[in-house]
Amino acid sequence: MSNYLTGDPATLLDAIPYCRHLGITAAVKDGSLLLTMPFVQHLIGNPVLPALHGGVIGSLLETAAIAQVIYETRPERLPKPVDITVDYLRSGRAVDSFARARIARQGKRVVNVHAEMWQEDESKPVAALRGHLLL
């Protein structure tokens, strides 16, 4: 098993250069991973609002989904996205962002996962992800 698939979220995120670039960190809270992405200026996609870049939001959600699957299932290989849909619900403001994912259903080879990203209020998600990952 690869070193980053041991279930330690810090090891996993540190192995991904883009996660380091985004500043994403993870902590285990209530049996699931809570990812935090602190705001930094280079994450802005629309400087007029200012609003986070949509790709940054999608990356945080995809990272949350993959990290949660690794944390729960301890797969032998890195899960590969089969399909992912991101619903952008509101603009991501220039503040810290958080994401959490949950496995909705797990088969022998495919996992269905849902993730949400929010900023100051978890009940007001900025974006949501639904996807399937191949184990």
Fold of 3-134: Thiol Ester Dehydrase; Chain A (3.10.129)
- Dihedral sign for Cα 15, 17, 23, 29, please: negative
Give me the pLDDT at residue 1, please: 41
More confident residue, 101 or 13: 101
Does the pLDDT value for residue 134 go beyond 90? yes
92: nearest Cα among 26, 37, 131, 33: 37
Structure tokens at 87: 């619903």
